Amino acid sequence: MNDFLFGILQWINSWVGSYGWAMVVFTVLIRLVLTPLDVKSRVSMRKTAKLQPQMAALQKKYANDKEKLNQKTAELYRKEHINPLSSCLPLLLTWPILIAVFGAMRTAANQELLVQVGQLLNLEAPTLERWLWIKNLWMPDSLFSPAYPDLGTLNQIGADQWLAWFKGLDQAHLPALLQGLNLTEASFAGDQIRNTITAIQGALQNGNAAYAEALSVAPGMSVNLLVTQLNFVRDYNGLMILPILSAVSQIAMTKLTGQNQNQNGAAGSDPAASTGKFMMWFFPIFSLVLCFSYSSAFALYWVAGNLVSMVQTLAINRYLDSKEAKTAAVAGEGTVK
């Protein structure tokens, strides 16, 4: 699945000429594919919300008999032709897709970062994938992250990709900065890989002045938070706009979903309301940490996905409102006759 999505991303990039904009197009395509499931989910949520008064009555009547309550609830769902799982289906599908997209983004980032490592080892200026305010799309959008690959980022690259990169080098004419390390294929296997990565990054730090300068901490711009140390990098990669947008858009999307449920009859005292309050803050914090830690490309996918999802939600709700209004009008005319 990762390779399939990565292939699609590469194909889009070959047309638009920018991985950043390719990611936006890629996100829109994924959301369009999921639209039928979103519509089905919204319909199911509306039907379930309208049953809240009856559900509350059942909960009150069978408060001391959970088995009877479950039986009557199932009967009510069957009577109204509601599948409780249908509203969860898009979420169940979204997470595997999100994981696969994360894998595809990681594959793309690792490949491009290794290319940049090779260029830096040859004392060349690395080819950075720029997008708007971001200097290198494969590094985090952060004031604390350099535009050039640092040790933390290099440690996220898998041993298999490191080995493929090493085999792709001209072994007879290795970059000058690697020649003193005596690397072999065994250097990229097992526990040895971490020491090898540290040695390569150390060679870059000591032998490439431009690289060392790019990773240096701005004077007086280091903050000790007890649990961690935040260092403002001199040549920072981004302004943290995407991580912040990921959290803000997540809050907006959660509020939009919650408003729709309340407008369609969801009871505020329902246990789902407590879950909604938890999700209201969990997902924004989760998205902020995730997008702050990983590549800007993945953060861009997350933000674009939230924005497209909100537009879809508004469009689907307007469509369903119009459809319900027409149905009610037709039913009203029939009653008059």
Q: Where are the alpha helices (DSSP H) in 122-240?
A: 151-154, 159-167, 192-207, 209-215
Please compute the mean of the pLDDT values over residues 39-52 and round it to a whole number: 75
106 part of a folded domain: no
Q: Distance between CA atoms of 142 and 126, rounded to whole angstroms?
A: 19
Q: Distance between CA atoms of 163 and 183, rounded to whole angstroms?
A: 11
- Cβ of 87: how many Cβ atoms within 10 Å? 19
- Inter-CA distances, 102 with 71, 96, 203, 211, 308, Å: 41, 10, 30, 28, 18
Q: In angstroms, how far is CA 26 from the centroid of its own chain?
A: 13
Which tens digit of pLDDT belongs to each residue from 250-301? Answer: 888 877 766 555 554 444 444 545 555 666 677 788 888 888 888 898 899 8
Is residue 97 packed enough to be buried (19+ CB in 10 Å), middle (13-18) or exposed (0-12)? middle
- Report whether pLDDT(324) > 80: no
118 part of a folded domain: yes
Task: Let me know: does 287 contact 250? Beta carbons within 8 Å.
Answer: yes
248 part of a folded domain: no
Token output for 221: 């711009």
* Structure confidence at residue 5 as a pLDDT band (50, 70, 90): confident
Closest Cα to residue 19, out of 160, 113, 97, 99?
113
- Report whether pLDDT(187) > 80: yes
Q: Distance between CA atoms of 116 and 152, rounded to whole angstroms?
A: 15
Token output for 330: 């037709």
Please compute the mean of the pLDDT values over residues 174-198 and round it to a whole number: 86
pLDDT in the model for residue 136 = 94
80 part of a folded domain: no
- Inter-CA distances, 320 with 46, 162, 261, 263, Å: 9, 51, 13, 13
* Structure confidence at residue 233 as a pLDDT band (50, 70, 90): confident
77 part of a folded domain: no
Please compute the mean of the pLDDT values over residues 203-217 and round it to a whole number: 89
Task: Let me know: does 154 contact 113? Beta carbons within 8 Å.
Answer: yes
- What's the per-residue H, E or C state across 39-98? HHHHHHHHHHHHCHHHHHHHHHHCCCCHHHHHHHHHHHHHHCCCCCCCCCHHHHHHHHHH
Token output for 42: 């919204």
- Report whether pLDDT(336) > 60: no
> Which residues have C-beta within 8 Å of that of residue 57, sequence separation ≥ 6?
none
* Structure confidence at residue 105 as a pLDDT band (50, 70, 90): confident
271 part of a folded domain: no
φ/ψ of residue 228, rounded to 5 = -160, 165
Q: Distance between CA atoms of 20 and 41, rounded to whole angstroms?
A: 30
Q: Residue 138 belongs to what domain range?
A: 113-223
More confident residue, 93 or 314: 314
Q: How many domains does the chain have?
A: 1
Q: Distance between CA atoms of 335 and 123, rounded to whole angstroms?
A: 82
202 part of a folded domain: yes
> Which residues have C-beta within 8 Å of that of residue 59, sequence separation ≥ 6?
69
Strand partners, 233: 217
Amino acid (one-letter) located at 21: W
Q: Quick one: angle between helices 89-121 and 19-33, nearest 10?
A: 160
